[in-house]
Copies of this chain bind each other. A is one copy, B any other.
């Protein structure tokens, strides 16, 4: 066994110089980076403080130090985007500090669901408006208020596409995906005989 190890030290580049073995690197440290749709829409800078072991000047002992890593979030980043800081893990004699990788996770949004570069907005309207038309207010991620007229008959599968009101495209953030307006139609709970007669005249004649 000793012989093997000696052989190893001769072959590998750093083995013989710095100590008892070859320089090794642990697998990356992977952490989630939770971002809101607003962060992913506008882009932003996220600063993350890490505590890491840093080698002292003697090259043998180490001290815990805080460090700020800065992530430039680009407009249009998707869930799953990975950002790697090379060799920002703990330092120590005979180790290559591991990489630190952040993986983008989208936070749930109170109004929108993102699908690729599109945003889905679900609104509940009463059946009467679904049949006779209505306007839907949607507050965008950049704070504008859209007032979208719905003139078509809205059935449960109807979806209004509002072009260019989705997420920015990563390749060109001036271009955007679409807003998809979906409807939850609220049926009446009860109807008087008179109202049923009106409905029969409107829908069954």
Q: A interface vs B, CB < 8 Å?
A: 126-133, 153-156, 185, 187-191, 195-196, 198-204
Q: Are B202 and A191 in contact (CB under 8 A)?
A: yes
Count copies of this chain in the complex: 2
Kindly list chain B residues whose C-beta atoms are within 8 Å of the C-beta of A153: 187-191
With A131-B203, A153-B188 known, 9 other A-B pairs at CB within 8 A are A126-B204, A131-B187, A131-B199, A132-B196, A132-B199, A153-B189, A156-B156, A199-B202, A202-B202
Please measure, in the bound complex, the distance between the C-alpha atom of A129 and the C-alpha atom of B154, giving whole angstroms.
18
Interface core residue of A189, A191, A199 (most chain B CB under 10 Å): A199
Select from chain B the residue with minimum beta-carbon distance to A133: B196
In the assembled complex, 5 residue pairs joining A and B whose CB atoms fall closer than 8 Å, in A order, are: A128-B199, A128-B200, A132-B204, A198-B202, A199-B202
Q: Are B126 and A203 in contact (CB under 8 A)?
A: yes
Please measure, in the bound complex, the distance between the C-alpha atom of A191 and the C-alpha atom of B155, giving whole angstroms.
13
Kindly list chain B residues whose C-beta atoms are within 8 Å of the C-beta of A133: 196
Q: Are A203 and B185 in contact (CB under 8 A)?
A: no
Kindly list chain B residues whose C-beta atoms are within 8 Å of the C-beta of A188: 131, 153, 203
